[in-house]
Structure 1
Amino acid sequence: MKEPSAVADPPAVVDVAMPLPELNRDMEAALLQSEEGADVTFEVGGESFAAHRCVLAARSSVFRAELFGAMKESTAGGGKARVDGVEARAYRALLHFIFTDAVPELDGKDQETSSMAQHLLVAADRYNLERLKLICEDKLCKRIDVSSAVTLALAEQHRCPSLKKACMDFLYSPGNLKAVEATDGFEHLATSCPVILRELIAKLVAL
């Protein structure tokens, strides 16, 4: 008979099947969609959105300052808060991102998706949601075309350096610039961001 080994044989490796993360799903279904426990309602563009102030405050420093500061009394007990300057569809997407960290509204590749990205970028900047803002910026950087004059104005007004560079690079081509000049967006750029227009002209002259 052999003497017993001083070192035991290693146990067989057993893999445990791990389910997918459930937090985002639960936050969306149990809170955002069901509205159970919601304690604040926002009126945006004729639509109402119920939400949970603790979740909003945890995700956005702006919401935290508003809901536990200036708007605390007026929204207590489920009071309503009116929001101007944001489209209802963009606000809905904003809340969805806050609760789930996902933006399915930006999965498309059509012009409607680009429009949503523009509106959502403005809302993200307003509520200091930097990750959402960068997601929108990245989406718009991949959709630069003759409508980029409006996008360039957004990039300048909301401090998006990568988006600004993508637009400027597109406009450095005389052919692209001529096409953009024929759009209504170019007039908007000239009146809202004249400094950018002068910067563009100066760089074109230097080429």
Structure 2
Amino acid sequence: MNATASMCSPRTVRGTHAFKIAGYSLHRGLGVGRYVRSATFDVGGYLWRIEYYPDAEMEMKNGDYASVSLELVSTNAQARAFFEVRLVDQAKKLPSFVVLSRKKPVVFRAKPPTYMSEDFLQPLPYLKDDSLVVECDITVMRESEVAPIATTFDIQVPPSDLSDNLGELLKTGEETDITFEVRGELFPAHRIVLAMRSRVFKAELFGPMGDRTRQTITIEDMQPAVFSALLHFIYKDSLPSMGHLVGDDAEEMVKHLLVAADRYAMERMKVICESILCKTLNVRNVTTTLALADQHQCNHLKDACLEFITSPDRTDDVVASEGYANLKRSCPAVIADIFERATKSRKI
């Protein structure tokens, strides 16, 4: 069974406009059906206006009434919106009084004009200093967007050249501020780039135990070619070409790079090395590769080695190899992993 789900949610744009009618008493007597207008205001890309009738929109039989209406004034427009028009107590002693409201969307049209109106008793309690504040909230529904105009133009965006720029920075040695010495060979580099890419370098170069004035760092237990490849990956996010290496030399180089990646917490580089070694497994090298994977917590590579060894058509050859005898002496815990994997395989 394949279960899927989707959702359509309309876009809404909300706006509020406050319309203050000063000298309210002077507007009384304007006449039935006559009104004062607010300034036009924009909500959701449409222009709106409040119209207030001090003597009501229509003749009332009983009582002293006023009226208010809301109108869409954009030319040749149509909008779906819900709204609320209320009287605001400027003295903040009374709650706002809603005089006109629609909780469900209403379609407003400019031609023929659509407007909503409501009558109510004269709002004398909401007057302050002979002024009245009418506040309007409008929420416009925007269910659909205008589709972009199709064109025949196809602008080709060039690929990112960030890695090329950083690689050139390493190659030219411009503005380097740290030098690494590896068995007599010198490798200039940039502290900030190293710190950005490796938390180990960051701690060593900028951490509380680091020496920011240090100009040269000596690297022990690493070949110059391996350190050069590590710097290449730090700057270019890829391993250098190893076309000049073949067979065992290429395999050994990748293993050294895996150790360097683990040493400097370069996780992506480490996984790339695991991926390469997974594809070169054979009866002769699988046990040494397994020991390496176990030592450097390479779970993907370790699983591949265990699967290779416990395959029914390979197990006898691997167990008979000299590498397996060395593995039993150097990594007895890994032998238990092999046994456990083999037991599970037989149960499946």
Alignment TM class, shorter chain as reference: 0.7 to 0.9
Q: Return closer, same or farther for 1:86/1:188 CA change in 2, 3 Å cut-off.
A: farther
**How many residues of Structure 1 are paired with residues of Structure 2 in the alignment?**
194
Correspondence for 1:6: none
How big is the shift at 1:190? 2.7
1:109 and 1:142 map into 2 onto residues whose CA distance is: 15
Deviations 1:160-207 (A, max 9, x none): 112111111111246634544565543542333210023324554674
CA separation of 1:175/1:16 partners in 2, compared to 1, >3 Å: closer, same or farther? Answer: closer
CA distance in 1, matches of 2:285, 2:236: 31
Identify the structure with bigger relative contact order (alpha carbons < 8 Å, sequence gap 6+).
Answer: 1
1:116-195 paired onto structure 2 within 5 Å: 116-145=253-282, 146-173=284-311, 176-181=314-319, 185-195=323-333
Q: 1:52-75 deviations in whole A, cap 9, x for unaligned? A: 010000001110000113342462
Asked whether 1:18 is paired with 2:172, we answer no
- Conserved 8 A contact 1:105-1:116: no
- In the other structure, the counterpart of 2:186 is 48
C-alpha RMSD of the superposition: 2.5
Answer 1 or 2: which has greater strand percent: 2
Q: Percent identity?
A: 40
Q: Spell out the pairing of 1:103-118 with structure 2 (5 A cutoff).
A: 103-105=239-241, 110-118=247-255
Instruction: Say if 1:124 and 1:132, in contact at 8 Å, map to a contact too.
Output: yes
The structure with the larger Rg is: 2
Q: Which runs of 5+ in 2 are unaligned?
A: 1-148
How has the CA–CA distance of structure 1 residues 189 and 179 changed in structure 2, closer, same or farther, with 3 Å as cutoff? same
Looking at structure 2, the residues matched to 198 and 119 of structure 1 have their Cα atoms a distance apart, in angstroms, of 26
TM-score normalized by the length of structure 2? 0.50
Stretch deviating more after TM superposition (122-131 or 170-179)? 170-179
What is the rounded CA distance, in whole Å, between the counterparts of 1:162 and 1:123 in structure 2?
Answer: 17
Matched position secondary structure for 2:181: strand
Instruction: Specify the code of the residue in structure 2 equivalent to 1:147.
Output: N
Q: How far apart in 2 are the matches of 1:39 and 1:16?
A: 40
